[in-house]
Amino acid sequence: MNRTDAFVEPAATHAAAHESEASIGVSLPHESAALHVSGEATYTDDVPELQGTLHAALGLSRHAHARIVSMDLDAVRNAPGVIAVLTAEDIPGENNCGPVLHDDPILAVEEVLYLGQPVFAVIAESHELARRAAALAKSDDVIRYEPLEAILTPAEAKARQQFVLPPLHLKRGEPAAKIAAAPNRISGTFEVGGQEQFYLEGQIAYAVPKEMDGMLVYSSTQHPSEMQQVVAHMLDWPAHNVVCECRRMGGGFGGKESQSALFACVASLAAKRLRRPVKLRADRDDDFMITGKRHDAIYEYEAGFDDSGRILGARVEIALRAGYSADLSGAVATRAVCHFDNAYYLSDVDIVALCCKTNTQSNTAFRGFGGPQGALVMEVMLDSIARQLNCDPLDVRLANYYGIGERDTTPYGQRVEDNIIAPLTDELLGTSDYRARRTAIAAFNANSPVLKRGLAFSPVKFGISFNVPFLNQAGALVHVYKDGSVLVNHGGTEMGQGLNTKVAQVVANQFGLPLSRVRVTATDTSKIANTSATAASTGSDLNGKAAEAAARTIRERLAELAARQLGGSAGDAQFANGQVSVNGGAMPFEQLVGAAYLARVQLWSDGFYTTPKVHWDAKTLTGHPFYYFAYGAAVSEVVIDTLTGEWKLVRADVLHDAGQSINPAIDIGQVEGGFIQGMGWLTTEELWWNCDGRLMTHAPSTYKIPAVSDTPAAFHVQLYQNHNAEPTVFRSKAVGEPPLLLPFSVFLAIRDAIAAAVPDAREAPPLRAPATPEAILDALDALQPQRAPQPATEPATTDTAA
Ligand code: MTE
Ligand code: HPA
Ligand code: MOS
């Protein structure tokens, strides 16, 4: 059976999925799985190079903040294999690749604002020769600088009130009065580090000049339309001169939402100037040095609460490191403000978010987009409240959950209408055996002086939609060829998350065809115009609906023809198992398509979708920014070594709400990947800039992302049986980002283990994130000062190591 109605009843859909070969709700492999594992999947660097292709590399600033006194690029021009050296002066149009404000020069002019900022581009015969010549940027003879004072931390920027955008402030009720009157109070500070996206495929663009001032840009980007636009502005061309294409990315994770632009611009500038194809592929170290990351944050918080731990009033200031320019920081900070509540009702609350301007990389989107930075501090606060009350943090969490029909309005004014966090929590507490394990862990800790175990539960409520309402739109184009094969194009981009597979499933389902009959092509700005980034986890919600609409239009035309040929009414036509049936007769899909062609029926269509209900007032920070919420929860158990600070995740149980999943295998993959990636952020991944503002952790040697061996031996990931309360595509829910918040439970379990090591400590463990072994030892030492290493009696010698 196949469904024609947009408003699909969940149970019926589920049954339909299993009957139909098109298999909505079935764990079909990723459409490129075989290509991924065989190495045949083509990424931007695999596009066959045209004859005459040149290679670009970037000359980077050596200072965090300096005036460029003079540039003498002759040595670079004369280096072996160099064809040209380009600077900002060579840009015919706008020297900007910033997505919102125009504060992001493609190549620096007069002043450099961070160490690693591109100042010039070298174009050479080979990648290697271009890199060698670009490295001359390190010489004083090439660029002379007058160093200026650099602001290197959010704390310094905050002290000087130096922001890239005005502060955001959301206040509801009378938080100060409620905190003052509360029977109990906590206050404190917290900090969390940033995170490098570490997509396996680095930033890359390959620009091919075309006739009549045309440019084809192959770009590894989440946002082809934006690449088209910035390249056109830079060249002072209309947008229709530029086509941007992306077949797939080897990961984006937000890092290619805006920051693929610099690479697309430089490759295109060079291709335009030299009338030759030019490729710019950033080396991993350069990628680290040039591009922005997840915003690190420092917090000040305060809360008043009753004896059950229920919050009566709360206040937080979230100071995010924006870096040298605005990039997407405004929307990131807004999402942070809108996720401070996480799954909890806050009647009286004051939230401030600051976008601190520092002389470091311009921070950008990263899975969760500020949401994790907003919610983490709330979870830390609840943990501290529980420790002050000497009760299980789980119970404090439960006491603060959003209610149903009461206590259900977020600080920004949106009601939480689809709340399933309580039953989801109940189920997870049961399957994870939380209460019994809490007792067993206490018993273990009582008998284990060095190794301590910790256990923690944390929930997620994540708002789905771009928090800039107009971005919630998408288009698709479906072609049915005469032989009955189907080609789908949509505005979303594939970065490994399985978007193309889900969209193909949706289209195959419309036509009652197996997935093998549907092919999804590369994303291409000449096919779908004015697309939004594939971001905010909305890829399949938006593009799935647009493709469904396009396919439905064709299907309705086909149904009419079938009814003309077989009798009966078009509305009764069924598309299933490769057959179209109506009025007791049936024919193969391709036979009907062939007949439709001869009957001059249009066999292709576009489709368009906009998300209903969303609106937002950026001045008051109130509205209905999210179409719906996705939920999840996790229980994590760790063991720490209190002598070395080493730790291990022993077991993690995850229950996540993907609505009625279109493809459970892909969704579980997203949950697992998001969990491990979030765990890396909170534990092992540490960005460290030296006192000159040089990022010292710019390669896997010093920046430690989780490996497969960091996956816990017991990793139980389940999808919660649910369907979206809103009529999304097959009642599914977005799943890309929300799971990144699940490993808060890992961080909190480490805190729990530290607390167990110092049972009589009166304060909660002052553990910073990432919880590296050093941070864990620092927290233990702070709770138990006699543990801390005593100062050496002899001054330590410094000349041995180096
Ligand atoms: N999964 C993989 N494998 N690679 C990625 O780059 N990016 C994440 C998430 N999952 C990412 C991923 C981010 S940041 C987002 S916003 C969503 O996927 C985007 O895709 P979707 O909207 O189709 O879920
Ligand atoms: N997520 C990702 N990108 C965005 C968003 C968002 O919520 N809003 C604007 N750009
Ligand atoms: Mo995802 S951070 O919205 O690209």
> Active-site residue 89, yes or no?
no
- With the most atoms of ligand 2 within 8 angstroms of its CB, the residue from 258, 335, 614 to mutate is 335
**How far is ligand 3, taken at its centre, from the CA of residue 576, in Å?**
36
Mean pLDDT for 243-251 is: 98
User: Which one of 201, 737, 763, 794 is the catalytic residue?
Assistant: 737
Q: Which bound ligand lies closest to the C-alpha atom of 363?
A: 3
**How far is ligand 1, taken at its centre, from the CA of residue 613, in Å?**
24
Mean pLDDT for 216-222 is: 98
pLDDT at 457 over 60: yes
Rounded (5°) CA angle 386-387-393: 35
**How far is ligand 2, taken at its centre, from the CA of residue 472, in Å?**
10
- With the most atoms of ligand 2 within 8 angstroms of its CB, the residue from 364, 467, 532 to mutate is 467
pLDDT of residue 762: 78
**How far is ligand 3, taken at its centre, from the CA of residue 345, in Å?**
26
Q: Is any atom of ligand 1 closer than 6 Å to the C-beta of 669? A: no
Q: What pTM was computed for the model?
A: 0.95
**How far is ligand 2, taken at its centre, from the CA of residue 42, in Å?**
28
Contact between 508 and 514 under an 8 Å Cβ cutoff? The reply is yes
Q: Is any atom of ligand 1 closer than 6 Å to the C-beta of 540? A: yes
pLDDT of residue 166: 98
Q: Is any atom of ligand 1 closer than 6 Å to the C-beta of 676? A: no
**How far is ligand 1, taken at its centre, from the CA of residue 23, in Å?**
23
Mean pLDDT for 739-744 is: 98
Give the rounded percent of residues in the chain with a pLDDT score beyond 70.
Answer: 95
**Identical fold between 18-41+473-610 and 418-469+620-802:** yes
pLDDT of residue 2: 37
pLDDT at 369 over 70: yes
pLDDT of residue 23: 80
pLDDT of residue 794: 55
String of DSSP letters for 635-700: EEEEEEETTT--EEEEEEEEEE--BS-S-HHHHHHHHHHHHHHHHHHHHT----B-TTS-B---ST
Q: Identify the CA nearest to 364 among candidates 262, 294, 298.
A: 294
pLDDT at 525 over 90: yes
Q: Which bound ligand lies closest to the C-alpha atom of 255?
A: 3
Which position has the token pair 């339309």?
Answer: 225
How far apart CA 172 and CA 376 sit, in angstroms, is 20
pLDDT at 15 over 50: no
pLDDT, tens digit, for every residue of 86-121? 999 999 999 999 999 999 999 999 999 999 999 999
Cα 21 to Cα 479, 512, 559, 627: the distances in Å are 20, 7, 19, 31
String of DSSP letters for 490-540: ES---SSS-HHHHHHHHHHHHHT--GGGEEE--EETTTS-SPPPS-TT-HH
Q: Which bound ligand lies closest to the C-alpha atom of 492?
A: 1
Q: Is any atom of ligand 1 closer than 6 Å to the C-beta of 371? A: no
Which residue minimizes the CA distance to atom 12 of ligand 1? 497
**How far is ligand 3, taken at its centre, from the CA of residue 538, in Å?**
9
Task: Find the range with the poorest average confidence among 29-43, 159-173, 403-417, 777-791.
Answer: 777-791
pLDDT of residue 453: 98
pLDDT, tens digit, for every residue of 327-353? 999 999 999 999 999 999 999 999 999
pLDDT of residue 761: 86
pLDDT of residue 146: 98
Average pLDDT, the chain: 95
Which residue minimizes the CA distance to atom 4 of ligand 3? 254
Q: Where are the domains of the chain?
A: 18-41+473-610, 418-469+620-802
pLDDT of residue 746: 98
pLDDT at 14 over 80: no
In a 3-state reduction of DSSP, which class is residue 426? Answer: helix
**How far is ligand 3, taken at its centre, from the CA of residue 365, in Å?**
5
**How far is ligand 1, taken at its centre, from the CA of residue 289, in Å?**
23
DSSP code of 409?
Answer: B
Ligand 1 atom showing the smallest separation from residue 249 Cα: 6
Q: Which protein residues are within 6 Å of ligand 3, measured from CB?
A: 222, 254, 257, 365-367, 369, 535-536, 737
- With the most atoms of ligand 1 within 8 angstroms of its CB, the residue from 545, 732, 737 to mutate is 737
Q: How far is CA 653 from the centre of its chain?
A: 22
Q: What CATH code would you report for 18-41+473-610?
A: 3.30.365.10
Q: Which bound ligand lies closest to the C-alpha atom of 499?
A: 1
pLDDT, tens digit, for every residue of 254-275? 999 999 999 999 999 999 999 9
Ligand 1 atom showing the smallest separation from residue 222 Cα: 19
Residue 21 confidence class, pLDDT cut points 50, 70, 90: low
Instruction: Please enumerate in sequence order all residues whose Cβ is within 8 A of that of 147, keeping only pairs 6 or more positions apart, or say none.
Output: 63, 65, 66
Ligand 2 atom showing the smallest separation from residue 737 Cα: 1
- With the most atoms of ligand 3 within 8 angstroms of its CB, the residue from 197, 367, 531 to mutate is 367
222 against 798, higher pLDDT: 222
Taking residue 520's Cβ as centre, other Cβ atoms within 10 Å add up to 25
Ligand 1 atom showing the smallest separation from residue 252 Cα: 6
- Token pair belonging to 63: 């200072």
Which residue minimizes the CA distance to atom 4 of ligand 1? 251
pLDDT at 802 over 60: no
Instruction: Please enumerate in sequence order all residues whose Cβ is within 8 A of that of 754, keeping only pairs 6 or more positions apart, or say none.
Output: 452, 454, 640, 765, 767, 776, 779, 780, 783
- With the most atoms of ligand 3 within 8 angstroms of its CB, the residue from 327, 369, 741 to mutate is 369
Q: Identify the CA nearest to 503 among candidates 198, 515, 753.
A: 515
Contact between 539 and 492 under an 8 Å Cβ cutoff? The reply is yes
For residue 476, the cross-strand partners are 490, 607
Q: Is any atom of ligand 1 closer than 6 Å to the C-beta of 253? A: yes
pLDDT of residue 107: 98
Mean pLDDT for 173-200 is: 98
- With the most atoms of ligand 2 within 8 angstroms of its CB, the residue from 260, 339, 471, 629 to mutate is 471
Residue 315 confidence class, pLDDT cut points 50, 70, 90: very high
pLDDT, tens digit, for every residue of 617-665? 999 999 999 999 999 999 999 999 999 999 999 999 999 999 999 999 9
Ligand 3 atom showing the smallest separation from residue 535 Cα: 3
**How far is ligand 1, taken at its centre, from the CA of residue 737, in Å?**
7
Q: Is any atom of ligand 1 closer than 6 Å to the C-beta of 729? A: no
Q: Which protein residues are within 6 Å of ligand 2, measured from CB?
A: 257, 328, 331, 335, 365, 369, 466-468, 471, 533, 535-536
Q: Is any atom of ligand 1 closer than 6 Å to the C-beta of 401? A: no
Task: Please report the sign of the dihedral spanned by the C-alpha atoms of residue 310, residue 302, residue 295, residue 336.
Answer: positive
Q: Which bound ligand lies closest to the C-alpha atom of 672?
A: 1
Q: Is any atom of ligand 1 closer than 6 Å to the C-beta of 499? A: yes
Q: Is any atom of ligand 1 closer than 6 Å to the C-beta of 254? A: yes
Mean pLDDT for 407-435 is: 98
Contact between 665 and 771 under an 8 Å Cβ cutoff? The reply is no
Q: Is any atom of ligand 1 closer than 6 Å to the C-beta of 116? A: no
Which residue minimizes the CA distance to atom 8 of ligand 1? 253
Q: Identify the CA nearest to 528 among candidates 499, 503, 491.
A: 491
Q: Is any atom of ligand 1 closer than 6 Å to the C-beta of 251? A: yes
3-state SS of 319-379 is EEEEECCCCCHHHHHHHHHCCCCCCECCCCEEEEEEEEECCCCCCCCCCCCCHHHHHHHHH
Cα 642 to Cα 106, 254, 744, 784, 790: the distances in Å are 48, 36, 21, 12, 17
Ligand 3 atom showing the smallest separation from residue 366 Cα: 2
pLDDT at 498 over 60: yes
Architecture of the domain spanning 418-469+620-802: 2-Layer Sandwich (3.30)
pLDDT, tens digit, for every residue of 271-299? 999 999 999 999 999 999 999 999 999 99
Residue 793 confidence class, pLDDT cut points 50, 70, 90: low
**How far is ligand 3, taken at its centre, from the CA of residue 253, in Å?**
6
pLDDT of residue 785: 79
**How far is ligand 2, taken at its centre, from the CA of residue 405, in Å?**
29
In a 3-state reduction of DSSP, which class is residue 143? Answer: strand
**How far is ligand 2, taken at its centre, from the CA of residue 331, in Å?**
6
